[in-house]
Amino acid sequence: MSIAIRSLIAQEIRDDNPLFLVHDYPVNAPENLARGKVWVNVYRETLTNAPQAAALSESLRIVVITPMKDTAAAEEALELALDAVMRTLTRTRNVNWTTAERATFNDSYIGYEISITVSTENAYKS
């Protein structure tokens, strides 16, 4: 069995940013996210068959969260975290990001939800 695309992307982010807490599944941020830590989740939202191309298209969501808000330092930390993840995504083969939308999580943390699409060979066809 091959490794899931979401796991490969999570590993790329983890390798590039060893201080980030990276998960390859959807999970809520903890109540007390340690100061200075960045929380990242990578998970699949949809899987689309493209039979004419013998390919699959996976839509994934990447959530990037920082433990601060409402200060200039919080904004700077969030932008640096987003930039780090975007650099990883930009150099990862077959990954196309479409949007990075700001969000608030657990009424405590600020972050971004990044939408990406990954095109791969259809592994379900023999």
Query: Tens digit of pLDDT per residue, the chain (126 long)?
Result: 478 999 999 999 999 999 999 999 998 877 777 777 899 999 999 989 877 767 888 999 999 999 877 788 889 999 999 999 999 999 998 899 999 999 988 887 889 999 999 988 887 776
**What does residue 15 show for φ and ψ, rounded to 5 degrees?**
-65, -40
Report all structural domains of the chain as residue ranges with CATH numbers, in order of start: 5-121 (3.30.2000.10)
- Rounded CA gap, 5 and 44, in Å? 9
Instruction: Tell whether the torsion through CA atoms of 43, 46, 51 and 53 is positive or negative.
Output: negative
**10 touches 23 (CB < 8 A):** yes
Percentage of the chain surpassing pLDDT 70? Answer: 97
47: Cβ contacts below 8 Å, ≥ 6 apart: 56, 57, 58, 59
Q: What is the pLDDT at residue 126?
A: 62
Q: What is the pLDDT at residue 106?
A: 82
